[in-house]
Amino acid sequence: MLRRNILITGASSGIGLGLAREFAARGRNLALCARRLDRLTELREVLTKTYPEITVEVRQLDVTDPSRVHEVFEDFRSALGSLDRIIVNAGIAGGGPIGRASDEEGNLALLRTNVLGSYLQCSAAMSILREQNVGGHLVLMSSMSAKRGLPGPLATYAASKAAVASFGQSLGADAVGTPIVVTTLYPGYIRTEMTDTSGGEIPFIIEADLGTRLLAKAIEREPGSAIVPSWPWKPIAATVRLLPTRVVAKLS
């Protein structure tokens, strides 16, 4: 089904920005939000110049703010007339090992953004999609890190992305027999601001253009879930749960 009006959170950089470009090129109208409004405004200028037939709405939004998430999503709906696809993408990495005082604030910020923020976005999205009652597509950006609890500095991020995946699976079950479709995405490493801050070599990383092209393609198919790119991450997903803990301990 052609989803004409697409809301993307975290559209000021990386995957969200790349998806905005991909869907603009396919002629879709966009509702883009993030905290850095200046970046969104620049992006809107570029996209509407390149694709004058589309409408691009931008709003500033911190996804950890409960009242603002509902307000901004509703505002986008009013501006575009309807929301046909909502992509819950905003997220952060960082934090550090659990139980170290210096990392506490970073881990809490990560949980607020990735877990509370995703919950709030899902809540606002489902409320709108149910009310519209004409079908719609909810997409959640989990991660390959959700497939197995990871040690050290990755622990909180992995847990947060497992929570996102769990929201996706639950809402997918809720949507059975309704016109709503829910897709949970498990991307492997894609080079963005997020990966740039991690330092060191990142295995199997792909460039943002390719990553977002593959993600957009997967989103258009509207599966219940997708691992992107499939190689080498599908076989990794199949085996990572079976690894002994002493092997997983080396993954930090």
Ligand X SMILES: NC(=O)c1ccc[n+]([C@@H]2O[C@H](COP(=O)([O-])OP(=O)(O)OC[C@H]3O[C@@H](n4cnc5c(N)ncnc54)[C@H](OP(=O)(O)O)[C@@H]3O)[C@@H](O)[C@H]2O)c1
What number of residues does the chain have? 252
Distance (Å, whole) CA 197 – CA 168: 27
Determine which residue in the list 19, 31, 92, 139 makes contact with ligand X, applying CB under 6 A: 92
- Asked if 16 is part of the footprint of ligand X (rule: CB under 6 A), the reply reads yes
Tokens of 168: 């996706």
Apex 125 CA angle, 123 and 126, nearest 5: 70
User: Residue 66 or 179: which CB sits closer to ligand X?
Assistant: 66
CB of 251 to ligand X, least distance (A): 15
User: Quick one: which of 91, 75, 93 has its CA closest to 7?
Assistant: 75
With CB under 6 A as the contact rule, the residue among 95, 96, 153, 187 that binds ligand X is 187
Among 38, 104, 174, 193, binds ligand X (CB under 6 A): 193
Q: For 26, phi and psi rounded to 5 degrees?
A: -90, 5
Q: Does 162 bind ligand X (CB under 6 A)?
A: no
| Minimum CB–partner distance for residue 145 and ligand X (Å) | 7
Both tokens of residue 7? 């809301």
Strand partners, 8: 32, 87
Q: Is 156 in the site for ligand X (CB under 6 A)?
A: no
Whether 189 is a known active-site residue: answer no
Q: Exposure pattern of 167-205 as b/e (b: 16+ CB <10 Å)? A: bbbebbeebeeeebbbbbbbbbbbbbebeeeeeeeeeee
Pick one of 20, 31, 32, 63: the residue that binds ligand X (CB under 6 A).
63
- Please say which residue, 133 or 231, places its beta carbon nearer to ligand X: 231
State the binding string over 103-122 for ligand X (x if CB under 6 A, else -).
Answer: ----------x---x-----
Q: In 3D, which of 49, 50, 81, 65 has the Cα closest to residue 9?
A: 65
Tell me how far, at minimum, the Cβ of 184 lies from ligand X, in Å: 11
**Rule CB under 6 A: is residue 36 a binding residue for ligand X?**
yes
Catalytic residues: 157
The residues that touch ligand X, with contacts defined as CB under 6 A, are 9-16, 34-36, 61-64, 89-92, 113, 117, 141, 143, 187, 189-190, 192-195
